[in-house]
Structure 1
């Protein structure tokens, strides 16, 4: 069994800059295809969507903590729903934490793509393992522990067992999948407001409207703007690779 010092050395080494993975345009297109396969078909979304939901709820949780609210717990469910409970006397702080659900998967996805294509893929994966481990303190149901535990196992295996180049490729695929998932969730949110208004109580945009009186359309537009901006950030290094392969 490895010593604690060896364990720590391996983990801390993940946060150092590594060689930029040599990704051809063909590999990049395959990575995008893999991301779509994870996020679009119902069978794969049944599993990957759980991780997208966890990222969504972590966005709420992080925003709550950074705005001085008391975070009481996070619940993740196998039907892709989730709840983050926080207490605050400030309506502005409550609206702040409510807002950062839908944009965070896209922001995280862009960060993973950028990190993977710039030699920081292992650092992004190791940092994710730390965040997921810390989130265990706030989980309040068995499904949440199961989903998060599986994610920790996956990020831990990449950090300790996979070569840095492979981790860089995995970071790109995972980031693209989160970006696709963010678009999918935005479409679902829009459908709730257009076709399934009986489900409005599940919509962050509607909850923001209730808290601020700002129309739901503006909140959805802001979500869309941040998701589109995340795609733009992620797309810049992708364009450079496609140009080099042309």
Structure 2
């Protein structure tokens, strides 16, 4: 690849792309909601939400000064992020709290990029983020999940035309916005049955003294706010 080609690629990444038609935005939103609500589809797609969840833990652990030891993603769509540092304090609280809001917050960031017509930039940022996570994955299934997800994103960004890129980007962002809510509702259902004693909200209750139920409510408020705001950006409301 020569210098001129690299310049062309860079200009495409940082440049803006045409706004897609309204029907495509609505259709991808409906499909994303279906993928979240229909149980068989959710069982397959939930792994994407888990990648975002564990990525949130990892990012905040590093940002708060903790040492990231590794990430594991499992075939049952569960995950684990291990970091080293003080077992208490602000860094530990922020790291523990970062997981459940992460898919929605990532979706909100993606919605802003789409609102500003940076479709290609969104795809390349996604590929870069997945590559960064791959370095810290410590099990084969987790590595495979990231390679497949990143490979699909790269293939769309490199080989697909503008229409396919737009459809893929909008579907992915809608999915993150919707998918951020369901795991929290599922978690609260498990907590009511006493089946999730070591959940993130329960760990946060032990770290802060704030009841786990309030942490669940906070996570729901964040994800609902992201869905409302990000959905408005995707629909180009206010323009």
Provide the TM-score with structure 2 as the length reference: 0.91
Q: Is the 8 Å Cα contact of residues 18 and 164 (structure 1) preserved in structure 2?
A: no
Q: Is the 8 Å Cα contact of residues 54 and 80 (structure 2) preserved in structure 1?
A: yes
Once the two structures are overlaid, the 10-residue window that deviates more, 30-39 or 48-57, is 30-39
**2:204 and 2:229 mapped to 1: Cα distance?**
27
1:71 aligned residue: 68
Instruction: Give deviations 1:83-123, integer Å, cap 9, x for gaps.
Output: 00001125221111010101110011122233224211110
After TM superposition, give the deviation of residue 235 of structure 1 in Å: 2.5
Tell me the SS of whatever aligns to 1:47.
helix
**1:222 and 1:150 mapped to 2: Cα distance?**
33
Provide the TM-score with structure 1 as the length reference: 0.89
After TM superposition, give the deviation of residue 237 of structure 1 in Å: 2.8
After TM superposition, give the deviation of residue 148 of structure 1 in Å: 0.3
Tell me the SS of whatever aligns to 1:20.
coil
1:217 aligned residue: 213
Q: Is the 8 Å Cα contact of residues 17 and 120 (structure 1) preserved in structure 2?
A: yes
Runs of 4+ in 1 over 6 A off after TM superposition: none
1:51 aligned residue: 48
Residue 187 (structure 1) aligned to one of 185, 203, 219: 185
Report whether the alignment pairs 1:18 with 2:16. yes
Unaligned runs of 5+ in 1: none
The within-5 A match list for 1:106-121 is: 106-121=104-119
CA RMSD of aligned residues (A): 2.1
After TM superposition, give the deviation of residue 82 of structure 1 in Å: 0.2
Instruction: Give deviations 1:189-233, integer Å, cap 9, x for gaps.
Output: 111222x213221x1101111222211122112111211221122
After TM superposition, give the deviation of residue 31 of structure 1 in Å: 1.2
Instruction: Give deviations 1:54-107, integer Å, cap 9, x for gaps.
Output: 110000000000000000000000101000000112522111101010111001
Unaligned runs of 5+ in 2: none
Tell me the SS of whatever aligns to 2:21.
coil
After TM superposition, give the deviation of residue 39 of structure 1 in Å: 2.0
After TM superposition, give the deviation of residue 10 of structure 1 in Å: 6.0
The within-5 A match list for 1:66-215 is: 66-89=63-86, 90-194=88-192, 196-201=193-198, 203-215=199-211
**1:5 and 1:33 mapped to 2: Cα distance?**
42
Q: Is the 8 Å Cα contact of residues 24 and 167 (structure 2) preserved in structure 1?
A: no
**1:226 and 1:123 mapped to 2: Cα distance?**
25
Tell me the SS of whatever aligns to 1:52.
helix
- Corresponding residue pairs, total: 238
After TM superposition, give the deviation of residue 9 of structure 1 in Å: 4.5
Residue 228 (structure 2) aligned to one of 214, 223, 232: 232
Rate the CA distance shift 1:171–1:154 in 2: closer, same or farther, 3 A. Answer: same
